[in-house]
Amino acid sequence: MVFLIALVAISVARWDVLHSPPWQDQATGLWTEADFLAETRFDFWRLRYQENHYFDQPSGARSYMISAQPAMIAALMLALPSIDSVIVLVRLGSFVCGALSLAIVWILAAPIAGRAIATLATVALGATPMFITQVEHMGMDVPLMLWTLITIWLLANGRYRAAALASAVAFLMKSSGQLVTTAGAALVLFKLLTSRHDDRATRTWLWQSLALFTLVFVAETLFTAWGDTTILFRLVAPWPSTSRLPWAMLYTTPDVVALLAIASVATLIVGIAYLRQNGWRRALAAATTEQTAVLASWILIGLALFAAWRYLYCPRYFLCALPGVYLCLVAAITALPAGHKLAMVGLCCVIVGNLANQYGRFFPDIARVTTADLARDPSLTIRSCLYRERSREYLAEHLANQRTIDYLVEHHSDRLIFVEPPFLFLMTRPRLGYVDRPLHAVTPAVYDPTVQQVYAQLVEAQRRGNPDAGPLFVQFAASRITLPPPADDEILYSDQLTPPLLVYQPRFAPELVADQHKFEEAYLDSTWNTNWIGERVQTRWPFLMRTGRLQRARAELDQALGFTPYDASLRARRLELEALESKRAAGVESPAGPPLSAAIDRKSTRPTP
């Protein structure tokens, strides 16, 4: 009954986006990989070994490899008559996963806090902006959350072997499901340490369950390494992340931080009181027998926070642990004196607040982020899709993106469009649901000679007095490659958001057109301040070294070493650069360097273990 009520409520509340194409961060990743698999008829070998990663230069369709979801969507793309029908079915599937997740939360909370409080907690979770927004996004995190809850339910019922298999399914939904496997293994190990007086058969069963969890974890690790993902590498890297976790969480999802803080304080109070009355042996036994779901939730919350600290905090990355926050909250508060009344009043307030905050009205305004804010968390770009999806505030940008692409389709379908991902994929892949036919859009890499070919077309068009024949540019706040439009450029379209997404036509100054060196320097100046993705995975030092710009090459190479200080290949390049600088100082190496169109290193500069 809870499932049916939840499914109807979600469907009614989010019916307006049923036919909407995937939000850009799901489109570039999950859906681009699905499109590739559909186009190649599931050529996984080519996807893994020939297709570029999304963060490579040039950007490619490969993102996950280790998730089953792209293949599932690809199968629907081939089986159903239209992309719209695929979008509708996948979104309805996300609604079902969200409703099932709410039903399991109710099942877990009812024995702990009672049916009434379990109902309120379930409604509060369903109304949480991050939860309901992710459900409508039809991404990978909602199925991951569902299988996380299934794993916790199995653990709470003592079905540890089945829980290990469920955690493997969670991993197949998304690689961060390995945190679920780790949490399950930790709980079984904890159970072993507190069951010394159990019979031999029970301990043997626990050891077998732990062995199965360990086997699943090892298999996931090997699969992750084969899939060439950098997430696991970031978690175990011997240097800290740039995530600035506490500030990033407080700035982007203060509602989750508040709930987590209240749950932590209440749990600490209840735990200390229980220890004083019953001793630590009985307390540990109670945690592993009477409060198994709560203990598993706390372990998972800790692992999710650790992963966010080591890698990056993004609201949806914490979604798999969010139901556990509500479960731990009601378990702790209802154990306090007059806790049931306090929980009912508090949860009613949370529900009202969540409903009023669906569009992020109570959240800090990301559009007003300052330089000081960026210093605290460099990943917080002003128009970053990572943080817009914390609530329905993303929707204004999502609709604006669609209107921009519709404008280009209607007015400039025959023009060359210079743009970078994610808009490159949205404009050129009809299976993503934004266009019926591909637009002529390209994204040369920052240090790719093709960049000069595109700019050469612009310069030539201006010299001929016909700038309308040259390529168009699409520029947005998180852009790394496209030039920001100078004051004398012609703005053809603006989505009127803050900051705006612009379609413009460059009008080069005569002195810039006439002087190739000035043109090159202007281009480098315009792309020098890269965002967090550019800083980590799209360095230009190989290009700069080959073109004789050694001072700039040193700065970018040092920046790359700052992220991967133990990378032997980068250190070797640093020594090579020092040798070039010494030759230049001695007058042996010409400062001019090879021409801009010289061969360059096109290998990915993503960090590798």
pLDDT at 186: 95
* Cα angle for residues 120, 124, 127 (degrees, 5° grid): 140
Whole-number mean pLDDT of the chain? 81
CA 184 to chain centre: 24
> What's the average model confidence in pLDDT over 270-295?
81
Would you say residue 259 has pLDDT above 90?
yes
The Cα–Cα gap between 408 and 52 comes to: 27
Question: What does the pLDDT read at residue 369?
Answer: 60
Rounded Cα–Cα distance for residues 609 and 226 (Å):
12
pLDDT at 439 over 90: yes
Confidence of residue 57 (pLDDT cuts 50, 70, 90): low
505 in Cβ contact with 492 (< 8 Å): yes
- Band of pLDDT at residue 377, cut at 50, 70 and 90: low
Residue 336, Cα to own-chain centre: how many angstroms? Answer: 37
Give phi and psi for 472, each to the nearest 5: -95, 160
pLDDT > 50? residue 538 = no
Residue 69 reports pLDDT greater than 80: yes
pLDDT in tens, 404-423: 999 999 999 988 888 877 88
- β-partners of residue 398 are none
Give the three-state DSSP class for 584. Answer: helix
Ramachandran angles phi, psi of 229, nearest 5°: -90, 150
Q: Which has the minimum average pLDDT: 126-140, 203-217, 325-339, 433-447? A: 433-447
Beta strands in 323-471 (DSSP E): 417-418, 441-442
Predicted confidence band of residue 459 (pLDDT cuts 50, 70, 90): low
pLDDT at 441: 86
Q: Which residues contact 136 (CB under 8 A, 6 or more apart)?
A: 14, 17, 91, 94
Using CA atoms, how far apart are residues 255 and 351, in angstroms rounded to an integer? 12
Q: What pLDDT sits at residue 491?
A: 84
User: Counting Cβ atoms within 10 Å, is residue 168 exposed (0-12), middle (13-18) or buried (19+)?
Assistant: buried
pLDDT for the residue numbered 533: 38
Q: How many CB atoms lie within 10 A of CB 436?
A: 8
- Structure tokens of 538? 């799209």
Q: 357-361, 535-539, 576-580 — which is least confidently predicted?
A: 535-539
| pLDDT at residue 41 tops 60 | yes
- Work out the pLDDT band at 529, boundaries 50, 70, 90: very low
Strands (E), 472-588: 472-475, 490-494, 502-505
**C-beta of residue 299 within 8 angstroms of C-beta of residue 187:** yes
**Mean pLDDT value across residues 72-77:** 97
What pLDDT does residue 463 have? 66
Which structure tokens are listed for 363? 């959240």
Rounded-to-integer distance, Cα 45 and Cα 225, Å = 15
- Tokens matching residue 349: 């307030």
Checking if the pLDDT of 42 tops 70, the result is yes
Per-residue pLDDT at 102: 98
Query: Among 345-354, 479-488, 516-525, whose mean pLDDT is lowest?
Result: 479-488
Percentage of residues of the chain with pLDDT beyond 90 = 47
Reported confidence tier of residue 164, pLDDT bands at 50, 70, 90: very high
Higher pLDDT, residue 310 or 493? 493
Beta strand 502-505 pairing with 490-494: antiparallel
CA distance 541 to 555: 8
Q: Quick one: average pLDDT of 397-410?
A: 94
The answer to whether the pTM exceeds 0.75 is yes
Is it the case that residue 593 has pLDDT exceeding 50?
no
pLDDT at residue 376, as a whole number: 56
Identify whether the C-beta of residue 113 lies closer than 8 Å to the C-beta of residue 126: no
Pairing state of beta strands 490-494 and 441-442?
unpaired
**Averaged over 466-485, what is the pLDDT?**
60
> Which phi-psi region, left, alpha or beta, contains residue 114 (left: φ > 0; alpha: ψ -120 to 50)?
left
CA distance 130 to 117: 21
Q: Does residue 607 surpass a pLDDT of 50?
A: no
| pLDDT (0 to 100) of residue 451 | 55
Of residues 133 and 503, more confidently modeled: 133
**Which tokens belong to 181?**
């496997």
Q: Which amino acid is at 289?
A: T
Residue 218 C-alpha from the chain's centroid = 24
Phi, psi of 599 (to 5 degrees): -60, 145
More confident residue, 387 or 464: 387
Kindly report which listed range (85-94, 114-123, 135-144, 516-525) carries the lowest average pLDDT score.
516-525
Which of 156, 174, 154 is CA-nearest to residue 165?
Answer: 154
Specify burial of residue 90 (Cβ count, 10 A radius: 0-12, 13-18, 19+): buried
Confidence of residue 248 (pLDDT cuts 50, 70, 90): confident
pLDDT at 263 over 50: yes
pLDDT above 70 covers what percent of the chain?
Answer: 75
According to DSSP, the residues that pair with 472 across neighbouring strands are: 417
Contact between 571 and 564 (Cβ < 8 Å): no
Q: Range with the lowest mean pLDDT among 161-170, 287-296, 337-346, 589-598?
A: 589-598
Neighbours of 264 (CB within 10 A): 16
> Please, what's the b/e burial string for 119-136 (b: 16 or more CB within 10 A of its CB; e: otherwise)?
bbbbbbbbbbbbbbbbbb
DSSP H/E element including 605: none
**464 or 82: whose pLDDT is higher?**
82
Are residues 187 and 327 in contact, defined by beta-carbon separation less than 8 angstroms?
no
- Compute the distance between CA of residue 87 and CA of residue 76 in angstroms, rounded to an integer: 9
Higher pLDDT, 298 or 587: 298
| CA–CA separation, 563 and 572 (whole Å) | 16
CA atoms of 433 and 402, how far apart (whole Å): 10
Neighbour tally for 242: CB within 10 Å: 15
Record the tokens describing residue 390, joined without a space: 């914390």
Q: How far apart are the first and last CA of the chain?
A: 48
Average confidence (pLDDT) over 561-584: 76
Q: What is the pLDDT of residue 490?
A: 81
Check: CB of residue 184 under 8 Å from CB of residue 359.
no
pLDDT at 574: 83
Residue ranges of alpha helices (H) inside 339-393 are 339-356, 371-376, 385-388
Contact predicate 471/484, CB 8 Å: no
Higher pLDDT, 9 or 491: 9
Mean pLDDT for 204-211 is: 93
> H/E/C letters for each residue in 143-193?
HHHHHHHHHHHHHHCCCHHHHHHHHHHHHHHCHHHHHHHHHHHHHHHHHHH
Residue whose entry in the numeric block shows the structure tokens 């991951």: 144
Q: How far apart are alpha carbons 540 and 552 in whole angstroms?
A: 9
Predicted local confidence at residue 422, as pLDDT: 82
What's the pLDDT score for residue 233?
Answer: 43
Residue 456 has pLDDT above 70, yes or no: no
Judged by average pLDDT, the poorest of 71-75, 276-280, 526-530 is: 526-530
